[in-house]
Amino acid sequence: KRVYQQEMLVLVETAAGFAIFKVLDEGALKEVDDMSALFQTPEAANEVVRLKCFQQFKDSAEALKVVAKTLRGKLPKKLKKFLKTNIISQEIQETLICADKKLAKSISKKLGITCKSGEFGLEVMRGIKLQLSNLLEGISDAQMKSMNLGLSHGLSRYKLKFSAEKVDVMIIQAVSLLDDLDKELNNYAMRLKEWYSWHFPELQEIVTDNFQFAKAVKAIGIKTNVKTMDFGDLFPPEIVEEIKEANELSMGSDILPQDEANIKTLANQVCELGEYRESLAEYLKNRMNAVAPNLSAMVGELVGSRLIARAGSLMNLAKLPSSTVQILGAEKALFKAIKTKHNTPKYGLIYHASLVGQTTPQFKGKVSRSLAAKCALCIRCDALGEAMDGSFGKANKSYIENKIKALESGTKYMPKKKIPKYDQPLVQEYNPQSDFTKADEEVEEKPRRSKRKKTGQIEKLLCLTNK
């Protein structure tokens, strides 16, 4: 029989390569309360652990490839070969300590090595990494730092490489920024109206749009300038007349030049934010038409981008069923309804689509369900298909519009289906191979007993019993 040596080994993954350390006295380590005290100096660390084997990476590209695989919990070929050479081939009945639970599971499954990961192993690894440059031969502390820095930069670029190619990330960021800009614009415009209303309160009743109101404040300044100023193309003539008439009967108080300067600064901020918001909305529209044209044709660019942002990506949204797309954005209401045993919501973000908005309240639930079903098809077409002209989405939108008209009129909508052309000839020729004889029909059958013989036998038995 083979005699196996009982050892406790620690696998340490570094930027320089893989190293296996042997724990000299496992029992003594478990009795110590503070593990870091045993690794304060290189001499003390050498009394606790000893380097068993070390395999260095050839270059930074190999290090990046191997470490990226181990981070996903997979066993790289280089590590597999390293463990086979230094553990399995030497016939050591080992207990290997590993930091990552997934990697430990992969090693145990593929190599049959008893691999563990726990708090004790992590404390030993922290102590080893504290004195790593002293425990490893031929690698200085400066070299180890430069390797760690290069590998960390490479891993960051590796992780960002996949998300940079996803164009739907730009859509998610743009629609999130658009929502934030709307909130900020509303706050700024409300503050501007309250501030300027002390001087010219009648203006906000004449000019109701926030962006136009900021332009008017920026142009007018002190209200006495209205009599002599030329508005140009800023407002139509009838609005200009209303502003001049309101100025003559204005009940506002006077303001100082310093107040006017601060109010105009705030108006400039509102105008700049409004212009940036318009350019961002145009950018989002172009992005959506390029990434998800069918979804944009169905529900619009804004609702479509919010659906993508809610799901996380276009591919994640394509994996969702139509029932989830229908209530996406109303998760709180759904769970509350389930908890209180009330009716679940009929729509979420899809409620803001123009097709649902133009429907009467009694049919909104039906229309949102049909719209979600068609949206699910359009999303999958955008995510997995090749046609990017938006024709599929336009066809489905016309279907939903006709269905809405049919629901409101009280009739059942039946879409017109194109009947395929019949290409077969009307007069068929005689085919002699289709003929068959009576012999072809004959099939061997088991002989059946006649019912008459059976009844005759029963009558004879009855007569015998009566005698």
Contact 259, 221 (CB under 8 A): no
Among the ranges given (76-85, 278-287, 371-380), the one the predictor scored with the smallest mean pLDDT: 76-85
Edge to edge, what strands does the sheet with 114-116 contain? 49-56, 17-23, 5-13, 92-97, 114-116
Q: What is the pLDDT of residue 266?
A: 93
For 156-209, write each residue's pLDDT tens digit.
777 665 444 456 888 999 999 999 999 999 999 999 999 998 988 888 889 888
Q: DSSP string spanning 185-245?
A: HHHHHHHHHHHHTTT-TTHHHH---HHHHHHHHHHH-SGGGGTT---TTSS-HHHHHHHHH
Q: What is the pLDDT of residue 435?
A: 52
Among the ranges 19-23, 109-113, 256-260, 429-433, which has the highest mean pLDDT value? 256-260
φ, ψ dihedrals at 51, nearest 5°: -70, 125
**Partners of residue 96 on adjacent β-strands:** 9, 115
For 322-346, write each residue's pLDDT tens digit.
999 999 988 888 888 888 988 888 8
Q: What is the pLDDT of residue 425?
A: 45
The pair of structure tokens assigned to 414 is 């039946």
- Kindly indicate the confidence band of residue 5, based on its pLDDT and cuts at 50, 70 and 90: very low
Q: What is the pLDDT of residue 271?
A: 92
Between residues 34 and 126, which one has the greater pLDDT? 126
Contact 161, 250 (CB under 8 A): no
- Kindly indicate the confidence band of residue 3, based on its pLDDT and cuts at 50, 70 and 90: very low
pLDDT higher than threshold 80 for residue 395: yes
pLDDT higher than threshold 50 for residue 4: no
φ, ψ dihedrals at 22, nearest 5°: -100, 125
The pLDDT mean for the chain works out to 81
Q: What is the pLDDT of residue 257?
A: 87
Calculate the alpha carbon distances from 35 to 29, 128, 291, 311, 465 in Å.
Answer: 7, 11, 55, 45, 103
Q: What is the pLDDT of residue 1?
A: 34
* Strand, coil or helix: 167: coil
Find the radius of gyration of the CA atoms of the chain: 40
Distance of CA 136 to the CA centre of its chain: 43
Q: What is the pLDDT of residue 449?
A: 53
The pair of structure tokens assigned to 378 is 């359009």
For 16-57, write each residue's pLDDT tens digit.
888 888 888 766 666 666 777 778 888 888 888 888 888 888
pLDDT higher than threshold 70 for residue 298: yes
φ, ψ dihedrals at 56, nearest 5°: -90, 145
* Strand, coil or helix: 390: coil
Q: What is the pLDDT of residue 113?
A: 81
Among the ranges given (79-83, 134-138, 241-245), the one the predictor scored with the smallest mean pLDDT: 134-138
pLDDT higher than threshold 50 for residue 107: yes
Q: Which of 93, 96, 63, 60 is nearest to 78 (CA)?
A: 63
Q: How far apart are CA 357 and CA 150, in angstroms?
A: 55
Contacts of 299 (CB under 8 A, 6+ apart): 307, 350, 353, 354, 355, 371, 375
Q: How far apart are CA 228 and CA 34, in angstroms?
A: 84
Q: What is the pLDDT of residue 283?
A: 93
Pairing of strands 5-13, 17-23: antiparallel
- Kindly indicate the confidence band of residue 118, based on its pLDDT and cuts at 50, 70 and 90: confident
Q: How far apart are CA 434 and CA 117, in angstroms?
A: 74
Q: How far apart are CA 405 and CA 136, in angstroms?
A: 78
pLDDT higher than threshold 60 for residue 439: no
The structure tokens 């930069």 sit at 153
- Kindly indicate the confidence band of residue 419, based on its pLDDT and cuts at 50, 70 and 90: very low
The structure tokens 């930074």 sit at 60
Q: How many CB atoms lie within 10 A of CB 222?
A: 15
Percent residues over pLDDT 70 in the chain: 82
Q: What is the pLDDT of residue 452?
A: 52
